[in-house]
Structure 1
Amino acid sequence: MTADSPDTVDVVVAPVAGRIIDITDIPDPVFAGKSMGEGFGILDTPGGDVVAPVSGKVMMVAKTGHAVGITAPSGLQYLVHLGIDTVELEGRPFTITVAKGDEVTAGQVIGTMDTAVIEEAGKSTATVVIVTNTKKKLELLDVDYGDAALGHEVARATAKVKEPTQEVATVSEAGVDTQRPAELTGFDALAWDIIDNIGGADNVRSVTHCITRVRFYLKDEARANDAVIADLDGVIDVVKAGGQYQVVIGPEVENVYQAIEAQLGPTDPDAPAEVREKPTTAVGWVKYGFSELIGVITGSMIPIIGLLAASGIIKGILSLLLTFDVITDDSNTFQIINAMSDAVFFFLPIFVGFTAARRLGADPIIVAIIGGVLTYPTLVEMSQSGADRNILGMPLNSDFFGIPFHVASYSYSIFPIIVAAWVASIVEPWLKKVIPAILRMIFVPLFEVVIVSVIILLVLGPIVMFVSTGIATVIQGLYDLSPTISGAIIGGFYQSLVIFGLHWAVIPLVAQDIAASGNSYLNAIISATMVAQGGAVLAVFIKTKLEKIKALSGPAAISAFCGITEPAMYGVNLKYGRVFIMASIGGFVGGLLTGLFNVNMWGFTGSLIGFTSFVNPEGLDFSFWGFLIASAAALGTAFVLTWFFGFKDADVEAERTVKKVRLGRRDPVAK
């Protein structure tokens, strides 16, 4: 195959009549910045017929008709986007006559566009043609700029040349023949197998990832073959929780996620990140609301968990340096290290605002600026002042144009900025509808920052802080009633929350507790449960003679002692259920001792790697020794019980037999 072979060069025609311009001149930063890929724009179109820019197969048609995707025989994927922000017109200007899967030829009429409707709505009629897989496939795009008639050749796109690929047949355990390209290896091959067995790319609404799992929102979970996915090399297990189809990967999750994202192909750039059917019953709405809340918290917290953990370790090291008189708290060295350890907590609303906005579909930069407003030094000082009047115990310590209100201290907080991101996700689309496109770059951020900041500062912020502080007070009150009993109960059952992803409802409470008060008794108990899971899987690693189990359990034990328990739980402990029970008993013992000794924790990082988090900044106290005792007891209990009662190599063979029987019968339980 040569570089100028017809199989690698696409002749691109104008999908609408008009003036062909460089993509960087399109009045939209996403397209102009080429973040979607290389291409060209078309201005001054009279509307009317829209034709296919290339021959190929229709791979996507937007519900609102404003965008059509086509894959050419060369492998290049083209997106025709009719107008800018026209998704907001709900399809009124467009009539599309082709559907996904249709074969089309270059110049074939695929629909119509009414430019008068677009202009009346204050939108731009600029049309864009983008090669969405530019980075992987496009070698060269040669565009003829200037006036062009409908269907006339305006560009030539050359695909990258590579050796012909083979297709290798594989047969899943369920007996379904699949075809994976032989060129795919490593993470790309695993990504292909996962996508194929969850029902294909067309079954995926959206996908994200956390520390150990790739999290899919599927259109139909029944199409996914759970057992086959769970048995793939590189997959630890499959979990369904919170409306998500979760594939547990472990430490390599980011590499697998990137491969999956690349293979899923183009999606409608204006489509919401997640589309789910609304429930019809009260119970359904409660489940839906809780699922949405967990999803937002997960998406908001995951990107900064590593930062919180690192900051906790630095805080602990700083405490040790003070304890052993290496530095003093009035030295410049102390101030510099303290800034490193405290910055992520102090400016938490900025970071969480950015990540929450991405999850909710608002502009991350704008919401981050709103986080900056909440942490602005003058407002922080204002929050510390008192007042004669108060409401619900909150002093009305400021006023806005004569309206008294309570300024809370939002530094170190999490929930108010998540609410701000939610408000922004509502305000922003409305602003884009009412503000003409030519003025949006300045006036959308202007009005959004003002409107959302005022709503949060005057109304929602104080309410959210009152509620979140109340929850923290209730949790602390329950702990104070009996630290020993509380520690035992939480220690015995906390890791069960991880199974369903419900621990994400607890993590922000811990983070905010540490940020606000500087410590967390609850986090100390959670730490003991991590050590217990590691102790159980460590027993499996030492006891087993099966190389496959050793390969799973060794790294899983290290991860658990580093504060990440999912590889241990899904790779080994839950698969061989008695192991998880023994680990939970170890967590019970560790939590009980943690409560009995009133062990406190001054950092976010738990398990053995987080030992510095148990050093009191005011000087080493019994919390550190209590942590060592409770951790040793949790690890030892889980290890011994697992060794004698929790695991034997015969369990592995029994587990395989059960799985084969289920697959052979197509037992619905295996789904």
Structure 2
Amino acid sequence: MSNGNKVAAEGILKGIGGASNIKFLSCCATRLRFELNDSSIVDKAALDAIPEVMGSIPQSGDRYQIVVGGGVASMHNTLKQMIESGEGGEAPAAPANNEKSIDDIKAAKRSEGIRGKVAWVDSFFEYLSDSFRPILGILLGASLIIALASVLDALHIVDFRGEKSAGWIFVDSMWHAVFYFLPIMVAYNASKKLNVDPWLGAAIMGALMTPEFHKLSTLASTTSVKDATLGTVGHVAHIFGLPMQLNDYSGNVFVPLIMVAVLALVYRFLKKIIPDNLHMVFVPFLSLIIMVPLTAFLIGPLGVWIGTYLGTGLAWLNTNAPFVFAILIPLLYPFLVPLGLHWPLNALMLMNIQTLGYDFIQGPMGVWNFACFGATAGVLLIALREKNAVMRQTASGALAAGLFGGISEPSLYGIHLRFKKVYSRMLPGCLAGGLVIAILGAPYGGVKTTAFAFTSLLTIPVFNPMWVYAIAIAVAFAVPMLLIFFFDYRTAEEKVAENKK
């Protein structure tokens, strides 16, 4: 570990109350997530003084989050090593004064919503987050492979509109594997989050993706049923005299999320009634016997139905009220992401790709992302003009994470939520970019993509029409950048306070 990383980790441990105050530690894309024994002894002033810390966010109960940006994995590993080696430090005394820090104010605004105030709501969104977080990297990797192929096709270097060669079919398998087996990966992560054997959750979901399960649709005893609403044809197999709807579960995320929630109840019940020395054999055995049929007959069709009709509802809005949809999504996201309420939409994007073959939410979502990055660019320009080294470092790191990784949290927590005027400069960019998609994308039914893409510069080619998307994000980026550069991002009080540092 680097010396700077260790110094920062030591400061975080001390500020959080020492290793003895930590019940559980995990991380997401930019944040360290703590479950503490006593959150009242956290020294926020000490945490705020650590250069690597972009913000600290109290949550319901004794949960606590510390935003450290793109280096979160390294910081998480350093903290784990220090805790395991006994380098925990002593718990600090409670802060002596009652003065509210910037993060106190931010946390208070956060608690005005349901998220952060109601424990079960926090738990629900953490369940969603932790079910997807570990696979965000491979989702990004897969989307970049698709982006590379899209660039080659757009430049007419390789023609993918005809029959593909064996080599490019092989390349397709590299990204298709991620989306095909996504339900198994989500089931694994979700099971781990709910303290269920993750391989058990993965195996139950995998049972519905085996060649034997798919073979059921070809049997003579299987009947076909047409869905008049969706215009699709489904198959119903007859299993020991009982009808079972057959679905293609590849790429589905709603089914594993629902299945694992039910599995957790079954798993805990079995562990409670079965003697400890028989757990290893009979808990997995009975879980499979109960959950595979329950998932195939009930949970699977229910999850497909929920995802399909949610996607159909938003598709209807996108088709019949494209102006409303294209503007609503980018204007909602700046308020959803800080509260962690965007995860259901992320799940729906994946579901759209699986059921419709494309997604129409990510285009407008990209508008919000680039408006966010444009605001950060405006802050960076002012920092360069004023020779503000601290803000220059914060803004440049956040901008790089955004433009090349599509990650907005470093910008949000490092800058935007700390200064009152940023949102008033950023929202016009969201509106302007949304209008561009609404007007220019109308003849095409909006901007669509066949990949789950982190909306960065690298993934522009996965959107269609690409030129509409490129203009929309350019407008969304430029508007807040110029507004901030000419009209600043700070109130007079914030400017004075920052100059005193």
Superposition TM-score tier, normalisation by shorter sequence: 0.7 to 0.9
Q: Which stretches of structure 1, 4 residues or longer, exceed 6 Å deviation after superposition? A: 283-286, 389-394, 648-651
- Residue type of the alignment partner of 1:564: I
Could you say which residue in structure 2 is the equivalent of 1:369? 203
Q: Partners in 2 of 1:508 and 1:591 — Cα distance?
A: 22
- Residue type of the alignment partner of 1:528: V
- Residue type of the alignment partner of 1:503: H
Aligned residues: 455
- Residue type of the alignment partner of 2:409: E
- Residue 474 of structure 1 and its aligned partner are, at CA, apart by 1.9
Q: Partners in 2 of 1:497 and 1:637 — Cα distance?
A: 21
1:234 is the counterpart of 2:52? yes
- Matching residue within 280, 294, 305 for 1:466: 305
CA contact (8 A) 1:578 1:645 kept: no
Q: Which has the higher strand share?
A: 1
1:541 is the counterpart of 2:391? no
1:249 is the counterpart of 2:68? yes
CA 1:396–1:337: 2 relative to 1, 3 Å: closer
Could you say which residue in structure 2 is the equivalent of 1:577? 420
Could you say which residue in structure 1 is the equivalent of 2:174? 340
Could you say which residue in structure 2 is the equivalent of 1:306? 137
- Residue 653 of structure 1 and its aligned partner are, at CA, apart by 4.7
1:604 is the counterpart of 2:452? yes
Q: Percent identity?
A: 27
- Residue 395 of structure 1 and its aligned partner are, at CA, apart by 5.3
Normalised by the length of structure 1, the TM-score is 0.63
Which range moved further: 383-392 or 473-482?
A: 383-392
Equivalent residue of 1:570, what SS? helix
CA 1:296–1:391: 2 relative to 1, 3 Å: farther
Could you say which residue in structure 1 is the equivalent of 2:189? 355
Normalised by the length of structure 2, the TM-score is 0.82
Aligned 1:183-332 pairs, distance under 5 A: 185-241=3-59, 244-265=63-84, 287-323=118-154, 324=156, 326-328=158-160, 329-332=163-166
Per-residue Cα deviation, 1:618-660 (whole angstroms, up to 9, x for no partner): xxxxx100011101111111111111113369776534489x9
Q: Partners in 1 of 2:23 and 2:315 — Cα distance?
A: 40
- Residue type of the alignment partner of 1:609: L
Which range moved further: 486-495 or 249-258?
A: 486-495
CA 1:391–1:262: 2 relative to 1, 3 Å: farther
Equivalent residue of 2:451, what SS? coil
- Residue 467 of structure 1 and its aligned partner are, at CA, apart by 1.8
**Relative CO higher for 1 or 2, CA cutoff 8 Å, sep ≥ 6?**
2
- Matching residue within 239, 246, 249 for 1:407: 246
- Residue 538 of structure 1 and its aligned partner are, at CA, apart by 1.1
Could you say which residue in structure 1 is the equivalent of 2:322? 483
Q: Partners in 1 of 2:136 and 2:126 — Cα distance?
A: 15
CA 1:408–1:360: 2 relative to 1, 3 Å: same
Q: Which has the higher helix share?
A: 2
CA 1:633–1:241: 2 relative to 1, 3 Å: farther
Per-residue Cα deviation, 1:284-325 (whole angstroms, up to 9, x for no partner): 999333222211111110001111121112122223334415
Equivalent residue of 1:235, what SS? coil
Could you say which residue in structure 1 is the equivalent of 2:436? 593
Q: Partners in 1 of 2:164 and 2:215 — Cα distance?
A: 22
Aligned 1:151-166 pairs, distance under 5 A: none
Per-residue Cα deviation, 1:363-399 (whole angstroms, up to 9, x for no partner): 1112111121122234345469753598998957022
Could you say which residue in structure 2 is the equivalent of 1:128? none
Which range moved further: 546-555 or 366-375?
A: 366-375
- Residue type of the alignment partner of 1:221: S
Could you say which residue in structure 1 is the equivalent of 2:109? none
Structure with the greater alpha carbon radius of gyration: 1
Could you say which residue in structure 2 is the equivalent of 1:387? 224
Q: Partners in 2 of 1:570 and 1:285 — Cα distance?
A: 16
CA contact (8 A) 2:27 2:73 kept: yes
- Residue 242 of structure 1 and its aligned partner are, at CA, apart by 6.7
